[in-house]
Amino acid sequence: MNKKAEYAGTFYPENPEELNCLLDSFKQEIKIDYRSKAIIVPHAGYIYSGHSAMAGFQYLEPSENIFIIAPSHHENFNNIALPEYTFFETPLGNLEVNNRLISEITEKFPCIIADEVFDKEHSIEVQLPFIQNLFFPQRQSAVDFVKNLKKIGRKIRIVPILVGNCDYRLISDLISTYWETSSFVISSDLSHYYPIQECRQIDTYTATIIETGRIEFLQPQQACGITGIKGLVDFANNNECSMIRAEMYNSGDISNEKDKVVGYGSWFLYTDTKNDFIERYYSRYVIDIARQSIISSINQEEFIPKGIPPVMTQYGASFVTLKLKGVLRGCIGSVYPTKPLILDIIDNAKNAAFQDPRFEPLTVDELEDLEVSVSILSAIERINFKDERDLLSKIYPYGIILADRDKRAVYLPVVWEQLPDREIFLNSLKEKAGLPPNYFSKSLEAYKFNALYISED
């Protein structure tokens, strides 16, 4: 039995040609080669959320099974619901349901089988044409067709899942169980019907939680698919993965409506740290941004970068270090992430060039020989220690923050190259904080962090 398309002609075009043209118009040029097995994407009408959804789907890696995990907006039930339907129809054709896998899931997880809860639900249906447009294009060369077959290995089937009153760990366990042979689409809009500025504040907060993995702070009013989001982020936390932003805006940015808007965001799971992602794909961009910020300031011009990668809009903390012929010329940075990373780098580059109290402001004559490097900090962790010997055993090879009441100082991990002895490193950091090198007290606090170091070499 087939599941009919309920929202063709309302949420998205009913005409196949028009639908494909609209989906194609949402596509962006992706200059990186990474593809992810899990994404978060919105599910509103395409005119509003289509750009954000496609931004996430373009990173999705096709697998034998594509799970679509979405909230139920109309039916109340416990745990998750799965269908008995054989196919889900859209104007672009039918997508086959993996009923064998659904039967297996019913034996392993608490759930119900109920076609009726899917009948009026849009949160799964609106995702299907994206899958068809990207992985089953109606117009493709023979070479592309063969490439797609080789990449997929066999035909794609979908596993539609609606989430009811459910513990997010059920979703996390589901993803873990089928990770090797599947990809996962988490369907969710963000905040609903707040004034536009409030929406932006809420969604920025939600995005930061998703990107830092602090799922204990996620609440139902932040996103309709909050359980699925928490499940995926929990999986990412448990497997040392990161959530990378692909796009975020709200309906007011499209319609100019300011009073009641809905937020839309998309993310993809990266199987390493955010800093690893930046190093791999955006090292040159980071250095260029820092240097252009300095040049613009010297020329007394406002610097507004274009084509900002979404990952650079995630909150982050950085240090910008300037050298002339190998000699320090300025270094200013942020220990805690208080703004989008790109703004932090821009501000710290200007401050390192013109506000470091140890140096005179940089001049235009020095630009030619200026060496720029940027350190992007990881999350900061407190170091628990019993005494100084215990502290010394735990500080290498990290960046270290030392604090005691109003005294505070920080060394980046790169400082170990100049101070490789632990005791000398720690004593020097004490002196930088305005403390005697032999100082120790019970009120002394220490924190550690890693840092991605990017230079022009």
- 3-state SS of 107-146 is HHCCEEECHHHHCCCHHHHCCHHHHHHHHCCCCCCHHHHH
Nearest CA-CA partner of 287 in 363, 211, 351, 370? 370
**40 and 154 belong to one structural domain:** yes
Q: Are strands 242-250 and 261-270 parallel, antiparallel or unpaired?
A: antiparallel
Range(s) of the domain holding residue 193: 2-272
Q: Taking the mean position of all CA atoms in its chain, how far away is CA 444? A: 35
The whole-number pLDDT of residue 306 equals 86
The alpha carbon of 256 is separated from its chain's Cα centroid by a whole number of angstroms, namely 26
- Statement to judge: residues 59 and 28 lie in one domain: yes
Q: Answer for the pair 72, 116: CB distance below 8 angstroms, yes or no.
A: no
Q: Are residues 230 and 296 in the same domain?
A: no
Contact 70, 37 (CB under 8 A): no
Which residues, including other chains, have CB under 8 Å from residue 259's CB and lie 6 or more apart?
195, 196
- Verify that 162 and 293 share a domain, yes or no: no
* Same domain, yes or no: 18 and 61: yes
Pair (118, 260) in one structural domain: yes
Beta bridge partners of 311: none
pLDDT, residue 276, reads 97
Rounded distance between C-alpha atoms, residue 42 and residue 72, angstroms: 14
Q: Is the pTM higher than 0.85?
A: yes
In 342-406, beta strands by DSSP E: 370-377, 381-383, 399-404
Q: Which residues neighbour 88 within 8 Å (Cβ) at sequence distance 6 or greater? A: 2, 3, 5, 94, 95, 97, 124, 125, 128, 158, 160
Regarding whether 192 and 81 lie in a shared domain, the answer is yes
Kindly state whether residues 19 and 123 are assigned to the same domain. Answer: yes
CATH number, domain with residue 430: 3.30.1490.150
3 state SS of 407: strand
- My answer on whether 159 and 258 are in the same domain is yes
* Cα–Cα distance, 430 to 444 (Å, whole number): 10
Which of 215, 238, 272 lies at the terminal end of a domain, its last residue?
Answer: 272
For residues 160 and 213, state if they share a domain.
yes
CATH number, domain with residue 208: 3.40.830.10
| Identity at 136, one-letter amino acid code | F
Boundary-marking domain end, from 218, 238, 272:
272
**Both tokens assigned to 282:** 């955006």
For residues 194 and 66, membership in a common domain is answered with yes
Task: Encode the chain (457 residues) as per-residue pLDDT tens digits.
Answer: 899 999 999 999 999 999 999 999 999 988 889 999 999 999 999 999 999 999 999 999 999 999 999 999 999 999 999 999 999 999 999 999 999 999 999 999 999 999 999 999 999 999 999 999 999 875 444 455 555 555 544 589 999 999 999 999 999 999 999 999 999 999 999 999 999 999 999 999 999 999 999 999 999 999 999 999 999 999 999 999 999 999 999 999 999 989 999 999 999 999 999 999 999 999 999 999 999 999 999 999 999 898 899 999 999 999 999 999 999 999 999 999 999 999 999 999 999 999 999 999 999 999 999 999 999 999 999 999 999 999 999 999 999 999 999 999 999 999 999 999 999 999 999 999 999 999 999 999 999 999 999 998 7
Q: How long a stretch of residues is the chain? A: 457
- Alpha helices by DSSP H, 179-265: 196-212, 226-238, 251-255
What is the pLDDT at residue 1?
Answer: 86
Q: Identify the domain boundary among 341, 359, 376.
A: 376
> Is 197 found in the same domain as 75?
yes
- Looking up residue 295, the CATH number of its domain turns out to be 3.30.700.20
Tell me what pLDDT residue 411 has. 96
Give how many domains the chain has, as a whole number: 3
